Amino acid sequence: MFDFKNKTVIITGGGSGIGKAASLLFTQQGALVHIIELSKEHAEKTVALIKKNEGNAFLHLCDVSNQQQVAKTFKEIGKIDVLVNNAGIAHIGKAGTTSESDFDRIFNVNVKGYYNCMHEAIPLMKAAGKGIILNMCSVAAQMGIAERFAYSMSKGAVYAMTLSVAKDYLQDNIRCNCISPARIHTPFIDDYLQKTYPGKEKEMYDALAKTQPIGRMGTPDEVASLILYLCSDEAAFITGCDYPVDGGFTKLNT
C-alpha cells in the first residue's frame, strides 16, 4: 500500500515543518520529491537527510508568489504526478490593524502562490492523463479565530480554490483535496513564542496546546500521514474534500 515508486511529487515549502515531514515520508514510499523552497538552508538540510536515508530528492529555490519563477521551475522538473501546495506564511492582526502591505504579502504567498503552482501543474497533469493536488488549508478557513484576519482570508480562498479545481478537472482524472490543520508544533510555533513571549515560552506553549480538545498540538508527521494517503492510489475515490486534522478543534470545542 501507498507505493509511490516511479512517481514525481512536488512539495512547496518542503524544507521545514509539515512540508519537511511530507518530503521525508513520500521519499520513504519511493517517490522522487522536488522541494520548492525560499530557504536554501532548510531545503539543503532536508534533501541531505533524505539522501542519507537513501531517498531521492532535489531542491529548487523559488518564490511561489512569482509566476515567472514558478513557470521556470516546473518546466525544469517536467513531469509531475502529485503537487502538494504547502508553502505559506502567517500573520496576526484584525481587519482594522492589518496594513495593506501585510495583506498583500499574505495574499501573494498563500493564495497567488497556490494558484501559480496549480496553473503550471495542471497542464502537465492533463497531458499525462492524471494528477493529484493537495492544498494545505487551515481550520481558520471555516472557524472564527481571533486576530487572524488576513491569514483566515487566505485559507478561505484555498478552500474555495480546492473545490473549484476538483470540479473543473474531474474529466481530466485530476483529483484535488485539502487538509485543514489546527495548531501543529512546527518551528513557526517555537519562533512565534520566542519572539512574542520571551521567558514564558513553555507557559504559553501549554496554553496554546490546551486550546485543542485532545489536549495537545498535532505533529508534522501526523499531518504528513494524511497527505500521503490522500495523494495515494488508495484514495482514488476522494476529491473535492477538506479534512480537518485538528484534535477535535472544529467539532468538539464548547
- Phi and psi, residue 45, nearest 5°: -65, -40
pLDDT tens readout for residues 63-100: 999 999 999 999 999 999 999 999 999 999 999 999 99
CB 23 within 8 A of CB 186: no
pLDDT tens readout for residues 145-154: 999 999 999 9
User: Which residue carries 493564495 as its cell?
Assistant: 111
**Which residues, including other chains, have CB under 8 Å from residue 15's CB and lie 6 or more apart?**
23, 35, 37, 39, 41, 42, 43, 44, 45, 46
Tell which residue, 65, 67, 84, 79, has the closest CA to residue 175: 84
| All domains in the chain, ordered by first residue | 8-182+218-238 (3.40.50.720)
pLDDT at 196: 86
pLDDT at 104: 98
pLDDT at 62: 97
**Number of helices (H), then strands (E), in the chain:** 10, 7
- pLDDT band per the 50, 70, 90 thresholds, residue 253: confident
Report the DSSP pairing between strands 56-61 and 82-85.
unpaired
Helix/strand/coil for 138 = coil
- Phi and psi, residue 93, nearest 5°: 165, 155
Give the residue-averaged pLDDT of 18-38: 98
Distance CA 18, CA 86 (A): 8
User: Which residue carries 513557526 as its cell?
Assistant: 188
Distance CA 113, CA 63 (A): 8
DSSP single-letter state for residue 110? I
Q: Is the pLDDT of residue 254 over 70?
A: no
Q: How many CB atoms lie within 10 A of CB 91?
A: 19
pLDDT at 191: 87
Tell which residue, 78, 73, 82, 5, has the closest CA to residue 36: 73
Residues noted as catalytic: 151
**Which residues, including other chains, have CB under 8 Å from residue 146's CB and lie 6 or more apart?**
none
Helix 17-28, helix 40-52: angle, nearest 10: 30
Helix/strand/coil for 177 = strand
**Which residues, including other chains, have CB under 8 Å from residue 204's CB and lie 6 or more apart?**
193, 196, 197
pLDDT tens readout for residues 137-192: 999 999 989 999 999 999 999 999 999 999 999 999 999 999 999 999 998 888 88
Distance CA 222, CA 103 (A): 30
Residue-level length of the chain: 254
pLDDT tens readout for residues 109-142: 999 999 999 999 999 999 999 999 999 999 999 9
- Cα distances from 16 to residues 83, 159, 232, in angstroms, run 17, 23, 22
DSSP single-letter state for residue 119? H
pLDDT tens readout for residues 208-219: 999 899 999 999
